[in-house]
Amino acid sequence: MRKEPTSAEEKLWSMLRGRRYREAKFRRQHAIGPYVVDFACVSARLVVEADGPSHSDAEQAAFDAKRTADLEAWGWRVARISNAEIYAASDGLYDTLDRALKG
């Protein structure tokens, strides 16, 4: 678990915390099994991951795929959002979050 979030994670957290987004309660750095996810909405069984440039690395992408498969096998849905999308705070970001929350 990282002690210092990235700037993209900080920006996304400022949007999600305190039920600011669609009244959904999100937790930051939430443990699920052996993993610590960036954000989780337990009631919706939703994980939101902020993906920076390192996630395009082949080894990291393989780890992410296994982690996503494990989380989904345990009944969680996973939404991966790129840092660029977070920084842009465009309609695409809100659409992604809305779709993820609705399942």
Q: Is the predicted pLDDT of residue 1 greater than 50, yes or no?
A: no
39: Cβ contacts below 8 Å, ≥ 6 apart: 12, 13, 16, 26, 27, 28, 30, 47, 48, 49, 50
Domain 7-102 has CATH 3.40.960.10: yes
Pair of tokens at residue 47: 């994980």
Minimum mean pLDDT among 21-30, 71-80, 87-96: which range? 87-96
- Per domain, the residue ranges of the chain are 7-102
Between 89 and 64, residue with greater pLDDT: 64
45-81: per-residue pLDDT in tens?
999 999 876 656 778 789 889 999 999 999 999 999 9
pLDDT band (50, 70, 90) for residue 96? confident
- DSSP letter for 44, please: G
